[in-house]
Amino acid sequence: MAKKSLVALAKGTDIQENVTRVFDLMGGVTNVIRKGSIVVLKPNAGHAEPPETSVCTNPEVVRAVVREVKKAEPKKIIIAEAAAIGCDTLECFKVSGIEAVANEEGVELKDIKRDQDLVNVAVRGFRSNIDHLKLPRFLMEADHLINLPILKAHASMVFSGALKNIKGVVQDKVHMQMHQQNLTMAMMDVWSACRADINIMDAMHAASGYSPHMPVPIDTNMVLGSKDPVAIDRVACEVTGIDTTCVDYFRVAAETGLGNYDMDQIDVVGNTIEECYKKMWIPYIGDMSTRWPEYDVKCEGACSSCQALLAINMEELKAVDEYDKNAGMTIVIGGKNEIPKDIPDGKIVLHGNCTKKYLKDHPNAYWILGCPPNEPALYLTVQRKEVINGMGDQEEEIIRPCMARDAAVWREYVFKAADKYYEEHPDEKA
């Protein structure tokens, strides 16, 4: 029988108390961090968004972890990140408030994207086509890597926690490569090459709604800790009411041997799941085939990632007033669909690598590559009647300007939807 994984749960509004308690429940910081060691903290600072948006790890959680780790008298603490494609890590550190914390606490900040001293690391038993990774030497030589994700709903993955956050240790070239194939497998391959030994999850103000681009923060007031990234993600789902059967990557992660998924293989210590329970609004879960009856949505065989992307993109079409104008189009996600031959190619959008095969009968349909594709690719393709998949210069020239243009109406739309949801579910309101 596999060894049980321990997940520490601490609930309360005092961040430092929560973080200290979580380390204590994991055996005490002086037992989990070696004196004189080099410790790298990997927060989520992937976008230039301020703390109140819950896009990045709360800087006060980062500070609390730094202060806790200092008790173990490490030689050095480094905060490191490679921001999302097209984002400047240093700007993300600044806007997220993490730069100020690093300066005040006297710890070093490192932008993985700018790091030149890389080592080639083989990925044993790789599942995607990533058989080796170039990773920063400082990361590979660190004694401890503390993964510091924020809990959030996520358009490409349904939800994002410890497993997804480690994706941010690679530079843009690999990041791009990961998005062009099976992202879940690629994420697991990154974990195989670069495994965090401790995961501390910021769930103080988890991001519900159409996160990561338009999150609706809620007061979850928790910090979680574990050495097992699968177990901590599983417990995070349990405390926020996320149906884990709707998150495909758990199965892959458990199969890869990264950690325990089954609750009977996990010991929750500290506060109980019941004491911490706070349901998150995650609109990426549910029946996608009937949700937009004005469109012909075919989604047989679709992974949870593409279902989540379908949800955000269809709602974004509504927000920018393009939904009705394009009604009647056929949207295809997943590889188990039948597409009648009499549907004109110009009315069909094929979303994702597994839909490429339908080009055989519909060679001029709009095929968006990626597994899953770029987050706003679907709504932009429908709106512009040209394939927008983020390849080449599209990210800089089309995707970012369009997202900036649409941000205000999308924000208004999402917050109205949140108000409506919480009116209908008053017991879940923060």
Question: Given the rule CB under 6 A, which residues bind ligand SF4?
Answer: 182, 302-303, 305-306, 333-335, 352-354, 371-372
- In the block, tokens 């006297």 appear at 106
Q: What separation, in Å, do the N-terminal and C-terminal C-alpha atoms of the chain show? A: 40
Nearer to ligand SF4, 20 or 337 (CB): 337
- Which candidate, 325, 326, 331, 323, places its Cα nearest to that of 296? 331
Question: Which is nearer to ligand SF4, 57 or 305 (by Cβ)?
Answer: 305
Do 309 and 353 contact (CB within 8 A), yes or no?
Answer: no
Distance from C-alpha of 277 to C-alpha of 428, rounded to nearest angstrom: 10
Q: How far apart are CA 345 and CA 324, in angstroms?
A: 19
Residue 11 beta carbon to ligand SF4: minimum distance, rounded to whole angstroms: 34
Burial class (CB in 10 A: 0-12, 13-18, 19+), 176: middle
What gap in Å lies between CA 285 and CA 409, rounded to an integer?
23
Specify the residue, 150 or 306, whose C-beta has the smaller distance to ligand SF4: 306
Nearest 5°: phi and psi at 38?
-100, 125
Minimum Å gap between C-beta 301 and ligand SF4 is: 7
Closer of 212 and 352 to ligand SF4 (Cβ): 352
Based on its alpha-carbon atoms, the radius of gyration of the chain, rounded to whole angstroms, reads 21
Residue bearing tokens 């990533």: 130
Identify which of residues 55 and 303 has a Cβ nearer to ligand SF4 in the complex.
303
Instruction: Give me the least distance between CB of 241 and ligand SF4, in Å please.
Output: 24
CB of 7: closest distance to ligand SF4 in angstroms?
28
Nearest-angstrom CA–CA distance, 200 and 42: 10
Least CB distance from residue 305 to ligand SF4, whole Å? Answer: 4
Fill in the DSSP letter of residue 206: E
- State which amino acid sits at residue 362: H
Residue number with CB closer to ligand SF4 (66 or 311)? 311
Q: Whole-number minimum distance, CB 130 to ligand SF4, in Å? A: 16
> Based on CB atoms, which residue is closest to ligand SF4, 183 or 329?
183
Q: How many CA atoms lie within 13 A of 130 on its CB side?
A: 30
Does residue 200 sit in helix, strand or coil?
strand
CA dist 333 and 79 (Å) reads 38
Beta carbon nearer to ligand SF4, 162 or 377: 377
Closest approach, Cβ 221 to ligand SF4, in A, equals 33
* In the complex, minimum distance from the CB of residue 373 to ligand SF4, in angstroms, rounded to a whole number: 7
Task: State which residue has the least CB distance to ligand SF4.
Answer: 352
